[in-house]
Amino acid sequence: MLPDRLAPDDFAAAPRTHEGRLALARMPHLAPLLAAAEGEAWLQIASSLDEHGQRVLEGRIEAAVPLTCQRCLGLYRYPVAEAFRVVVVGSEAEGEDLPAEAEPYVSAGPVQPQAVAEEEILLALPAVALHPSGACEAPAHDAGAQRETLSPFAVLRGRVRSDGEDGA
Ligand SMILES: [Zn+2]
């Protein structure tokens, strides 16, 4: 079972591993990008303290994210399979003090595994969702009209990404 939150006490020298499934449609930044409100992510996450006493989250995220292919406008399940390792810091400034190779994760209070998973998925998504070459469905007759209605999502997606980078 995945805990909803990991408090500072949940981090110790000996790693504690949790795993479970998360509904993609319940992830607030990811949900507006989905072509269908379906699908789950599998998350494995281990909490530990490193030799400097800093909180570390290490794990793996796997998901098939339903996106709309921008070439044929068909449903495209984008495969995400990412390993991650982040160091939990209380502020952006604290993150800047980390060694260059460390990826900071800013969280003032307890860490929500779902939020870590969502951020990793958003970082893994392509800038433009496209089926692999040759795998497109035959384009629909009204493809042009559908493309018009899709553009707000592209705008929203750009905004969500820059929010994320602010550490919100
Ligand atoms: Zn396609």
> 140 C-alpha to center of ligand 1: Å?
11
Dist CA 54 CA 13 (whole Å): 10
Per-residue pLDDT of the chain (168 residues; tens, 9 = 90+): 899 999 999 999 999 999 999 999 999 999 999 999 999 999 999 999 999 899 999 999 999 999 999 999 999 999 999 999 999 999 999 999 898 889 999 998 899 999 999 999 999 999 999 999 999 987 555 555 455 455 555 555 555 554 544 443
Concatenate the DSSP letters of all residues of 78-107 into one string. Answer: EEEEEEEEEEEESSHHHHHTS-TT-EEEE-
Instruction: Identify whether 3 is part of a domain.
Output: no
Instruction: Identify whether 1 is part of a domain.
Output: no
Instruction: Identify whether 2 is part of a domain.
Output: no
Domain that holds residue 33: 8-165
Environment of ion ligand 1 (residues, CB < 5 A): 69, 71-72, 74, 131, 136
Dist CA 112 CA 98 (whole Å): 21
Instruction: Identify whether 148 is part of a domain.
Output: yes
> 111 C-alpha to center of ligand 1: Å?
37
Instruction: Identify whether 149 is part of a domain.
Output: yes
Angstrom CA distances, 140 to 98, 128, 143, 145, 147, stand at: 50, 19, 5, 10, 11
Instruction: Identify whether 71 is part of a domain.
Output: yes
> 35 C-alpha to center of ligand 1: Å?
13
Total number of domains constituting the chain: 1
